[in-house]
Structure formats: structure tokens, C-alpha cells
Amino acid sequence: MTTPASVPYPQEFALTLLRDMLRIRRMEERAAELYGEGKIRGFLHLYIGEEAVAVGALHALAADDAVIATYREHGHALIQGVPMNAIMAEMYGRQEGCSHGRGGSMHLFDATTRFFGGNAIVGGGLPLAVGLALAERMQKGRRISVCFFGEGAMAEGAFHESMNLAALWKLPVLFCCENNLYAMGTALARSQSQTDLCAKAAAYRVSASAVDGMDVVAVHEATRAAVEHVRSGQGPYFLEFQTYRFRAHSMFDPELYRDKAEVEKWKERGPIHTYSARLKALGLLDEQGFLEIAAAVKNEVEAAVAYAEGGTLEPTENLCMDVYTPEVQP
């Protein structure tokens, strides 16, 4: 009989990790349904399959650390503390959304939780994370900035510039690369000659490590160690989370670049069912407990949908608000 891998946490926290992965998964599954119904429009990039990264990493941060993400950021926003109601309303384009309906799925933002946005530009969040870290250093604070990005962003100039400055100035930045193997529809080996991502970080003399991004415990432990490194003044750190998205790049993606068999193989390592099985084997969870968590998550999701459905659209007379600066009269 195989001994189950340990979960070195109190039961309450161990179940919190499971609950939060389920919250992301169910929210996004519902968002996909609503997109099909035409209630959510524009682009929609789902995080399904990658939940262990956001949950494991963000639970290792302090509440006032700054977080910057990509356009696949619903899960990061939720775990950072942005209410699900505000996220769903934003995807609906309602004024009650966290960006007042002006950002939509790719531009969630909430200054109160220090979630400084999703970003539609590949690699666009990296210089922002460096800027936030520089500001913190100049103010002699202890907060760190954490930037999530995909492996495709590592081919952008912004990645190299950001790594270089962060290393030169020993800034408190944690670089979190979510390597899901495909930058949109292009496999890593087809687009980058050096596929050892930690080697790229090492080229800037930045400490780096690769982590199983399908294992929420491995993610959490690696991030805790990296956060301690950064917060103690030793400079930036680079984490490569080796993960996989189960859905297409976006709702518009025909997904012709990978085999269905490959997707199904990765699903066997799905972070939610493998972790819940682990908890059950260790006696930290039973089936009834799982069903109770799932029911509570479903209720939260449906309440968020109802909130978004009851939201209001921005009046047309406000559409130019915050777009143009009014002319100043002498």
C-alpha cells in the first residue's frame, strides 16, 4: 500500500486550500456557461487546471503584499481577496464590478486588496511589479510585490529588463512564472531556444527553482521559502510553476495545437481531485465533508451570478469619464 504524501498543515488550513481551488474552478466553469449564453462578452481566458498555483502561492503572502497578474487572473483576484460578486459583475460589464464594468475579464483591479490588475499585454505586468517594489524600497517598507506571468512572457523584452533591474537593485520582487507549456497556441520548444526557464533567471543572478504546479502543497512550501528570501532583503526570486491549463487558451481558441490525449493525461494530475484524495487518505476529509464544501462553493457562485445579473450598466453620458482630461480654462 502506498503511503499518502503528507499535508503538513492543520486541518482547517488544509481544507482552506481545497475550498479555494474549488471556488476558482466552479466560478470559472459558471463563467464559461454564461459566456455561451452571451451574458459575458469579449475575451475570457480560463484558469481551469492551474488552480493550485494561485491558491498555494497567494496563501504564502502577507495581506498587504502587492499582486500583479495576467489576463488569466480571475483566480488570483479571488484569492487575493477581491469579492466574487465584484469579479462576476466585472465580467458582466456592470458598474458594480471591481473595475466599474470598464475592464471586463482581463482587467480586474482592486486597490483595497492590493491587487494591481490583470493585464492584457503579455509581459506588461513585469515592469509594474518592479516599480511597486522600487517604491516599497524607497519607503523602507517590508512589503513585496508578486508578479504572475506565463512562460511566453519570458520571450518579451520586458521580462529581461525587469529581471535585470530587480537584480541590480536587489528589489523585493517575487517572479512567478506559470509555465503551462503553450504561449497561446505555440509550444515552448517551438518558440524559445532555451527551455530551462530557471537558467534564464540565473543569467541575471536571480535565485530560482522549479515547482510542481499541480501540487498545492509543493506550491505553497516553495512560495513560503521564496517569500522569506525576498522579504529578508536578499533580492528577487524566480519560481517556475510547471502547470497545465485544461481548457483552450481563450473561448475563441479552436485548440488545434495539442492532442486531446495530452490534455486527458494531464487531467489525471488535476490539482483538486488529487489533493482531495490525499486529504481523505490522511483522514483530514471524508466524502460528506467534501460535499458540504462543494455545496457552499456552489451557493457562493450562484449568489455572485445573481449579484451580477442585478447590476447596472454605465449610463451612456458617462462613457467618456476618465478617458479625456477636461480642458482647463484660464
Any idea what DSSP says for residue 192? -
For 39, residues 6+ apart whose C-beta sits below 8 A from its C-beta are: 92, 309
Query: Quick one: which of 94, 105, 102, 92 has its CA closest to 46?
Result: 105
**What pLDDT, on a 0 to 100 scale, did the predictor assign at position 1?**
41
Residues making up the chain, counted from first to last = 330
Tens-place pLDDT, residues 207-229: 999 999 999 999 999 999 999 99
Q: What is the pTM of this model?
A: 0.94
Enter the C-alpha cell of residue 6: 503528507
238: β partners: 175, 208
Set out the domains of the chain in order of their start, with CATH numbers: 11-318 (3.40.50.970)
Tens-place pLDDT, residues 120-142: 999 999 999 999 999 999 999 99
Q: Rounded to whole angstroms, how far apart are CA atoms 172 and 197?
A: 20
**What pLDDT, on a 0 to 100 scale, did the predictor assign at position 227?**
98
Tens-place pLDDT, residues 55-101: 999 999 999 999 999 999 999 999 999 999 999 999 999 999 999 99
The amino acid present at 181, given as its one-letter code, is L
